[in-house]
C-alpha cells in the first residue's frame, strides 16, 4: 500500500478514536439525571476504599525519598534540605502521580471488569430496554466520583508521604521532630499543593474514563473482559504519565 | 383504517465485516399477535431483534415503530411500553431480586409499593416472596429466567420480546417457561416477539411464525400452516434434520 495513504489512514483512525473518547467523556460528565445515591456509592468504592493502598504507597515513597535525598545531599553537605525536598516532591509530583497510578491499578481495572461483565451478560442492553441511559447510569457516577475523590486521596497521600519522610528523618537522619516539620512547611507554597490536587482531579477522570471506555466496549465473553481490564489499566497509566508531563509543563514553566 | 403494525421493517440489512447477517428483511408485527422468529444459529434472529431495538445500527433499510420511523425519540417512547426477557436473563448482579423486578417501577412509585408489585409479579411467574431479597447469583438458571420474565412484565407493557427463553433449561423447566409466556401473552393481550430454535416453544407460544435463513426471511405464516408448508429448509428445521 502507498505509504502516504497508510499514514493518512492511521491519522484518521487516531483522530476518530480521540473524537469518540472525547464525546464519550462529555456524555459521561454531562448525562442528565443526577443520581446522588449512585455517586455516593462510587465515592466510597473509588475514594474511601483506595485510601489504604494510596496511603501505604505514599508512606513508603516519602520514607524512601528522605533516605535518597539525604544520601545525595550529603555529597554537597546539603542534608538539611531533606524535609523541604520531600515535601515539594510529594505534593507536586510523587503524591499525584503515584496516587493516580495506584488508583489506576485498583479502580480502572475494577470499573472495566464490572462494566465489561455487564456488557457480555447483556445487563447493559437490559438497561436500554428499561429506558435507562447506560452512560448516565454507569459512567457518570464513576467519572464524577473519581474526579472528586482522587484529589482528596492525593491530599491525604501528600500528608502521609511527608510523615513517612519525617519518620525516617527523626529516626535515622538526626532531625528533631519540630525541626523537620518546620523545614517541610517553610519552602512549601500554596500553588505546589493546588497544582498537585488539580493533577489528582485530572488523573481521577483519566482512570474512570479508561475503565468505563474499555468496559463498555468489552466483547466476546471472559476473554474480552480480561482484555478490557488490561487495556484500561495500561491506558490509564500511560494517560496519567503523559498528562502529568503536560500539566507540569503548563504549571511550572 | 387498518392500524399501523407495532413493528415494520423494510429491506433491513446488517453486516459484520464481510458477513451479511441480515439481508433485506421485510417483516410486520400486528398489534396483539405473538410472532415467533425461528432459524438456525447464525441465521440473524438475535441481530434482527437487536437492530429493531437500536442496540445495533442497521446498514440499510427502515424500521417503523407504531407507524413512525424509528428515530431516537420514537424508540424512547416505544421503550416506555416495552419489556424483554434476555437469553441470559441479564439480571443486575448488584441488586436483589425484587429491585431487579421493580427496576422500572422504582422510578414511578415509592419503594414499598414497587416492592409489593414486584412480589406480585414474582408470584405470577411461580416464585414465592422468600426469593425477593435473594441476590441473582443465589438463583438457579430456571429461577433467573422466571425473575427475568417477572421484570419484563412488571410494568404491564404492551410489547414483549423474548430472546431464546428456554435455552439452557431442562425440558420440564422449558415447558414451564413456555406455558408462562403463553399465559401472560393471552392474559394481557400484549404483542409479543419470541426468538427461538426450540420447536416446543414455537408450538406453545406462536400465532405466526417467521423463519430466517442466512439473513433472509425464508418463510412466514400461521403456526398451523408450518407443518404443511412445502419449503424444504423449513421442513428440515421443523423436523430437526439437516437441510438437503
- Residues A53-78, mean pLDDT to the nearest whole number: 89
Flag whether residue A189 sits within 8 Å of chain B, measured between CB atoms: no
Would the CB atoms of B76 and A131 count as touching at under 8 Å?
yes
All residues of chain B having their beta carbon less than 8 Å from the beta carbon of residue A131 are 76, 79-80, 104
Query: Is residue B130 exposed (0-12), middle (13-18) or buried (19+ Cβ within 10 Å)?
Result: exposed
Closest chain B residue to the Cα of A126, Cα to Cα: B90
All residues of chain A having their beta carbon less than 8 Å from the beta carbon of residue B79 are 128-131
Helix ranges restricted to H, B80-140:
97-101, 111-124
Condensed to tens digits (0 to 9), the pLDDT of residues B56-69 reads: 888 999 999 988 89
Distance CA B108, CA B232 (A): 50
Q: What is the pLDDT of residue B243?
A: 66
Distance CA B27, CA B120 (A): 35
- Work out the pLDDT band at A252, boundaries 50, 70, 90: confident
B70 or A77: whose pLDDT is higher?
A: B70
Q: Lowest-confidence range among A78-87, A115-124, A127-136?
A: A78-87
Instruction: Flag whether pLDDT at A253 surpasses 90.
Output: no
Condensed to tens digits (0 to 9), the pLDDT of residues B92-108 reads: 998 999 999 999 999 88
All residues of chain A having their beta carbon less than 8 Å from the beta carbon of residue B104 are 130-131
Query: What are B212's strand-pairing partners?
Result: B217
- Residues A121-138, mean pLDDT to the nearest whole number: 91
Instruction: Flag whether pLDDT at B226 surpasses 90.
Output: no
Task: Give the list of residues 6+ apart from residue A182 with CB closer than 8 angstroms, or none.
Answer: none
Residue A126 has its nearest CB partner, among B50, B80, B90, at B90
User: What residue ranges do the domains of chain A occupy?
Assistant: 31-252
Q: What is the pLDDT of residue B214?
A: 84
DSSP state of A139: I
- Residues B16-42, mean pLDDT to the nearest whole number: 88
Sheet harboring B159-163: ordered strands across?
Answer: B82-85, B159-163, B191-195, B34-38, B208-213, B216-222
Residue A129 has its nearest CB partner, among B82, B87, B91, at B82
Instruction: Flag whether pLDDT at B187 surpasses 70.
Output: yes
Distance CA A1, CA A6 (A): 7
Condensed to tens digits (0 to 9), the pLDDT of residues B109-148 reads: 999 999 999 999 999 888 899 999 999 999 988 889 889 9
Would the CB atoms of B88 and A128 count as touching at under 8 Å?
no
Question: How close, in Å, is residue B137 to chain A by CA atoms?
Answer: 13
C-alpha cell at A75: 555529597
- Residues A175-188, mean pLDDT to the nearest whole number: 90
Instruction: Flag whether pLDDT at B234 surpasses 70.
Output: yes
Write down the ipTM of this complex.
0.87
C-alpha cell at B55: 442496540
C-alpha cell at A139: 459512567
Query: Is residue A119 exposed (0-12), middle (13-18) or buried (19+ Cβ within 10 Å)?
Result: buried
Please provide the average confidence, as pLDDT, over all residues in chain A: 92
Would the CB atoms of B90 and A122 count as touching at under 8 Å?
yes
Q: Do B85 and B49 contact (CB within 8 A), yes or no? A: no
Fold of B32-43+82-239: Rossmann fold (3.40.50)
Would the CB atoms of A129 and B92 count as touching at under 8 Å?
no
Question: How close, in Å, is residue A28 to chain B by CA atoms?
Answer: 19
- Residues A206-229, mean pLDDT to the nearest whole number: 92
Q: Do A228 and A89 contact (CB within 8 A), yes or no? A: no
- Work out the pLDDT band at B244, boundaries 50, 70, 90: low
All residues of chain B having their beta carbon less than 8 Å from the beta carbon of residue A126 are 84, 86, 90-92
- pTM score, whole prediction: 0.86
Where residue B240 falls (left for φ over 0; alpha for ψ -120 to 50; beta otherwise) is left
Q: What is the pLDDT of residue B218?
A: 87
Q: What is the pLDDT of residue B164?
A: 87
B70 or A237: whose pLDDT is higher?
A: A237
Q: What is the pLDDT of residue A98?
A: 94
Flag whether residue A177 sits within 8 Å of chain B, measured between CB atoms: no
Residue B80 has its nearest CB partner, among A117, A118, A131, at A131
Would the CB atoms of A128 and B55 count as touching at under 8 Å?
yes
All residues of chain B having their beta carbon less than 8 Å from the beta carbon of residue A121 are 88, 90, 93
- Residues A70-94, mean pLDDT to the nearest whole number: 86
What is the maximal distance between C-alpha atoms in chain A?
Answer: 70
Q: How many CB pairs under 8 A join A and B?
A: 42
Instruction: Flag whether pLDDT at A220 surpasses 80.
Output: no
B80 or B229: whose pLDDT is higher?
A: B80
What are the CA-CA distances from residue A132 to residues A40, A128, A135, A136 (Å)? 19, 5, 9, 8
Condensed to tens digits (0 to 9), the pLDDT of residues B144-162 reads: 988 998 999 898 888 999 9
Closest chain B residue to the Cα of A134, Cα to Cα: B55
Q: How many CA atoms lie within 13 A of A20 on its CB side?
A: 12
A73 or A165: whose pLDDT is higher?
A: A165
Condensed to tens digits (0 to 9), the pLDDT of residues B81-90 reads: 899 999 888 9
Flag whether residue A32 sits within 8 Å of chain B, measured between CB atoms: no
Would the CB atoms of B84 and A117 count as touching at under 8 Å?
no
Q: What is the pLDDT of residue B1?
A: 61
- Work out the pLDDT band at B4, boundaries 50, 70, 90: confident
Question: How close, in Å, is residue A149 to chain B by CA atoms?
Answer: 22
Condensed to tens digits (0 to 9), the pLDDT of residues A136-178 reads: 999 999 999 999 999 999 999 999 999 999 999 999 888 899 9
Question: How close, in Å, is residue A214 to chain B by CA atoms?
Answer: 18
Amino acid at each position: 500500500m502507498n505509504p502516504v495513504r497508510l499514514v493518512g489512514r492511521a491519522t484518521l483512525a487516531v483522530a476518530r478514536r480521540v473524537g469518540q473518547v472525547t464525546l464519550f467523556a462529555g456524555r459521561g460528565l454531562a448525562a442528565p439525571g443526577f443520581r446522588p445515591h449512585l455517586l455516593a456509592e462510587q465515592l466510597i468504592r473509588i475514594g474511601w476504599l483506595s485510601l489504604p493502598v494510596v496511603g501505604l504507597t505514599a508512606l513508603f515513597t516519602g520514607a524512601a525519598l528522605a533516605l535518597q535525598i539525604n544520601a545525595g545531599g550529603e555529597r554537597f553537605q546539603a542534608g538539611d534540605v531533606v524535609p523541604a525536598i520531600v515535601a515539594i516532591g510529594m505534593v507536586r509530583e510523587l503524591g499525584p502521580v503515584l496516587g493516580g497510578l495506584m488508583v489506576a491499578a485498583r479502580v480502572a481495572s475494577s470499573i472495566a471488569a464490572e462494566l465489561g461483565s455487564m456488557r457480555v451478560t447483556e445487563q447493559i442492553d437490559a438497561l436500554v430496554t428499561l429506558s435507562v441511559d447506560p452512560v448516565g447510569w454507569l459512567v457518570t457516577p464513576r467519572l464524577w466520583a473519581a474526579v472528586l475523590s482522587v484529589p482528596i486521596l492525593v491530599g491525604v497521600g501528600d500528608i502521609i508521604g511527608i510523615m513517612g519522610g519525617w519518620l525516617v528523618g527523626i529516626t535515622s537522619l538526626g532531625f528533631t521532630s519540630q525541626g523537620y516539620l518546620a523545614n517541610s512547611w517553610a519552602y512549601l507554597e500554596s500553588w505546589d499543593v493546588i497544582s498537585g490536587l488539580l493533577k489528582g482531579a485530572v488523573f481521577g477522570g483519566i482512570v474512570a474514563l479508561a475503565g468505563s471506555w474499555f468496559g463498555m466496549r468489552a466483547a466476546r465473553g471472559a476473554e474480552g473482559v480480561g482484555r478490557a481490564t488490561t487495556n484500561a489499566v495500561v491506558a490509564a497509566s500511560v494517560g496519567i504519565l503523559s498528562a502529568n508531563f503536560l500539566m507540569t509543563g503548563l504549571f511550572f514553566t | 383504517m387498518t392500524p399501523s403494525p407495532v413493528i415494520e421493517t423494510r429491506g433491513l440489512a446488517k453486516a459484520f465485516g464481510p458477513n451479511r447477517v441480515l439481508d433485506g428483511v421485510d417483516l410486520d408485527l400486528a398489534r396483539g399477535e405473538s410472532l415467533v422468529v425461528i432459524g438456525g444459529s447464525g441465521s440473524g434472529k438475535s441481530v434482527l431483534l437487536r437492530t429493531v431495538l437500536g442496540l445495533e445500527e442497521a446498514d440499510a433499510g427502515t424500521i417503523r415503530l407504531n407507524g413512525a420511523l424509528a428515530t431516537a425519540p420514537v424508540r424512547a417512547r416505544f421503550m416506555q411500553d416495552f419489556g424483554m426477557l434476555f437469553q441470559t436473563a441479564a439480571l443486575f448482579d448488584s441488586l436483589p431480586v425484587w429491585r431487579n423486578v421493580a427496576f422500572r417501577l422504582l422510578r414511578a412509585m415509592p419503594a414499598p409499593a414497587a416492592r409489593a408489585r414486584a412480589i406480585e409479579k414474582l408470584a405470577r411467574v411461580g416464585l414465592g416472596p422468600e426469593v425477593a431479597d435473594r441476590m441473582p447469583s443465589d438463583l438457579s438458571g430456571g429461577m433467573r429466567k422466571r425473575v427475568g420474565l417477572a421484570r419484563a412484565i412488571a410494568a404491564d407493557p404492551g410489547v414483549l420480546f423474548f430472546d431464546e427463553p428456554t435455552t439452557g433449561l431442562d425440558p420440564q423447566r422449558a415447558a414451564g417457561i413456555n406455558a408462562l409466556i403463553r399465559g401472560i401473552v393471552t392474559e394481557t393481550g400484549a404483542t409479543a416477539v419470541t426468538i427461538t430454535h426450540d420447536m416446543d416453544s414455537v408450538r406453545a407460544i406462536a400465532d405466526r411464525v417467521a423463519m430466517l435463513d442466512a439473513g433472509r426471511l425464508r418463510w412466514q405464516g400461521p403456526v398451523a400452516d408450518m407443518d404443511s408448508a412445502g419449503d424444504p429448509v423449513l421442513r428440515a428445521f421443523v423436523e430437526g434434520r439437516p437441510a438437503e
